[in-house]
Amino acid sequence: MPTETRDSTRLKLSIIACTQTRPTMFVFREIIAKDYFSTSTLFSANYLSQGIYISVPFCRTKCSFCNFASGVFSRALFDRYVGQVCAEIEAADDMARQLGGQLDRHVDSIYLGGGTPSVLAPDQLQRLFQAVRKNFEVEPAAEITVECAPSTISGEVVDVLLGCGVNRVSLGVQSFVDKESSSVGRLHTRAITLDDIARLRSSGIGNISIDLIAGLPHQTEESWQLSLSETLASGVPHVSVYMLEVDEDSRLGAEVLAGGSRYHAHFVPDDDLTADLYLAACQRLAKGGVQQYEISNFARPVTHGIGLRDSKHNLKYWTRQPYLGFGVDAHSMLLAGDDLQATGVDAVRFATPDSLEGYSAAANDANPIAARAERLLASRTLVNAQAALEESFFLGLRLNRGISLASLKVRFGDQAIRTCERVMAELISDGLLEHGADRLCLTSRGRLLSNEVFARFLHEETINHRDTEAQRIL
Ligand code: SF4
What is the 248 CA–ligand 1 centroid distance (Å)?
Answer: 16
> Average pLDDT of 106-114?
95
What is the 167 CA–ligand 1 centroid distance (Å)?
Answer: 22
What is the 292 CA–ligand 1 centroid distance (Å)?
Answer: 24
Confidence of residue 295 (pLDDT cuts 50, 70, 90): very high
pLDDT at 18 over 50: no
What is the 446 CA–ligand 1 centroid distance (Å)?
Answer: 30
What is the 325 CA–ligand 1 centroid distance (Å)?
Answer: 19
- Between CA 124 and CA 305 the distance in angstroms is 39
Ligand 1 closest atom vs CA 115: 3
Confidence of residue 457 (pLDDT cuts 50, 70, 90): confident
Look up residue 303 and give its DSSP letter.
E
Ligand 1 closest atom vs CA 70: 3
**Which residue did the predictor score with more confidence, 17 or 226?**
226
Confidence of residue 444 (pLDDT cuts 50, 70, 90): confident
What is the 8 CA–ligand 1 centroid distance (Å)?
Answer: 28
Ligand 1 proximal residues by C-beta, below 6 Å: 59, 62-63, 66, 68, 70, 114-116, 149, 172
pLDDT at 284 over 90: yes
Residue-wise pLDDT for 372-417, tens only, equals 989 999 999 999 999 999 999 999 999 999 999 999 999 999 999 9
- Please choose, from the candidates 167, 163, 190, 164, the residue with its C-alpha nearest in 3D space to the C-alpha of residue 177: 190
What is the 55 CA–ligand 1 centroid distance (Å)?
Answer: 12
Ligand 1 closest atom vs CA 174: 7
> Average pLDDT of 430-446?
92
pTM of the model: 0.87
- pLDDT attached to residue 304: 61
- pLDDT attached to residue 305: 58
What is the 18 CA–ligand 1 centroid distance (Å)?
Answer: 13
Kindly report the protein residue whose alpha carbon is nearest to atom 3 of ligand 1. Answer: 115
> Average pLDDT of 253-268?
96
**Which residue did the predictor score with more confidence, 78 or 29?**
78
CB-side neighbour CA atoms (13 Å) of 169: 30
- pLDDT attached to residue 328: 96
Residue-wise pLDDT for 332-367, tens only, equals 999 999 999 999 999 999 999 999 999 999 878 888
Ligand 1 closest atom vs CA 114: 3
Ligand 1 closest atom vs CA 149: 1
Kindly report the protein residue whose alpha carbon is nearest to atom 6 of ligand 1. Answer: 63
Look up residue 336 and give its DSSP letter.
B
Q: Which of 62, 153, 211, 354 to mutate to test the pocket of ligand 1 (most atoms within 8 A of CB)?
A: 62
Kindly report the protein residue whose alpha carbon is nearest to atom 5 of ligand 1. Answer: 62
Confidence of residue 306 (pLDDT cuts 50, 70, 90): low
What is the 70 CA–ligand 1 centroid distance (Å)?
Answer: 7
What is the 59 CA–ligand 1 centroid distance (Å)?
Answer: 6
Say which range, 166-170, 384-388, 390-394, 436-440, has the weakest mean pLDDT: 436-440
Ligand 1 closest atom vs CA 65: 7
Confidence of residue 5 (pLDDT cuts 50, 70, 90): very low
Across 7-16, 121-130, 385-394, the highest mean pLDDT is recorded for 121-130
Q: Which of 59, 60, 209, 240 to mutate to test the pocket of ligand 1 (most atoms within 8 A of CB)?
A: 59
Please name the helix (run of DSSP H) or strand (run of DSSP E) that holds residue 85, with its range, or none: helix 76-90
What is the 186 CA–ligand 1 centroid distance (Å)?
Answer: 9
User: Exposed, middle or buried by CB within 10 Å (0-12, 13-18, 19+), for 126?
Assistant: middle
pLDDT at 425 over 50: yes
- pLDDT attached to residue 208: 96
Kindly report the protein residue whose alpha carbon is nearest to atom 8 of ligand 1. Answer: 66
H helix intervals, 100-186: 122-135, 155-163, 178-183
Strand partners, 439: 404, 436
Taking CA atoms, 182 is separated from 107, 259, 278, in Å, by: 38, 21, 21
Residue-wise pLDDT for 27-57, tens only, equals 222 222 233 333 333 333 334 689 999 999 9
Q: What domains can be seen in the chain, in order of their start residue? A: 3-317 (3.20.20.70), 385-465 (1.10.10.920)
Kindly report the protein residue whose alpha carbon is nearest to atom 7 of ligand 1. Answer: 66
What does R_g of the chain's alpha carbons equal in angstroms? 22
Ligand 1 closest atom vs CA 147: 2
- Between CA 350 and CA 270 the distance in angstroms is 36
